[in-house]
Amino acid sequence: MINEQNKHKSKMQKYKKAVDKGISKASKNKNLVIVLTGNGKGKSTSAFGMVMRSLGYGHKVGIIQFIKGQQKTGEEIYISKYHPEVFLYQMNTGFTWNSQDKDNDIKAAENTWQKAKDLLQNPKIDLVVLDEITYMLNYKYLDTQDVIHAIQNRPANQSVILTGRMACQELTNIADTVSIIQDEKHAFKSGIKARKGIDL
Ligand code: ATP
Ligand code: MG
């Protein structure tokens, strides 16, 4: 038993040493570009988790959602009720595969991008979330270089989170953190309906 405890202690000490070494190496202070991509669940919810963290510190947040579902989401209800100071704009064409009107979608994407650009030029905003933007680039509704340029030229105090499946190489190249969320299992695929507070 004592031997077991000693083994555990020495393992943890080694682990702590490695973690501390990593922490001491991270000496740079800069704001981030974070890409959350992949087919698994947890991209937008992770972004909203960081919104919550930011708000905890009194940071100013702007959120642009490039694809909006037909139904209101919990985060939308929460923000309008408890954090009306957060700028939240949604492209209101519904899911693109529902709208089936390409010209209208492109117009909506461009208008929505204009709002995103305003945030990316505003030094008062500390965190910008561009939710589901990857689709706008993949469908070529927006110009990738224009988006990259705006992100790279944002104010130094600002971090940006981009979400959506199949993030293109241009986005991952400029990101500091890229998470590819893998789809191992999803309740929806076994016939379970989207749940309020979990999926919506
Ligand atoms: P979430 O908003 O739950 O974090 P997400 O942003 O990672 O999901 P999206 O593709 O934007 O993923 O998902 C939109 C909706 O589709 C959400 O209701 C989500 O629960 C659901 N969803 C996400 N991943 C899957 C999947 N692999 N299979 C089926 N439904 C999914
Ligand atoms: Mg999402």
- What are the sequence ranges of the domains in the chain? 32-190
Distance 45 CA to ligand 1 centre (A): 9
Orientation of helix 74-82 relative to helix 43-56, angle to 10° = 20
Is pTM beyond 0.85? Reply is: yes
Q: Give the Å distances, CA to CA, from 62 to 18, 90, 124, 142, 145.
A: 37, 11, 10, 19, 22
Span 124-154, pLDDT tens digits: 999 999 999 999 999 999 999 999 999 999 9
Span 35-71, pLDDT tens digits: 999 999 999 999 999 999 999 999 999 999 998 667 7
| Nearest protein Cα to ligand 1, atom 22 | 41
Q: Are strands 127-131 and 61-65 parallel, antiparallel or unpaired?
A: parallel
Q: What are phi and psi of 89, to 5 degrees?
A: -125, 135
45 lines ligand 1 (CB under 6 A): yes
CATH of 32-190 among 3.40.50.300, 1.10.3720.10, 3.90.1640.10, 3.40.50.10210: 3.40.50.300
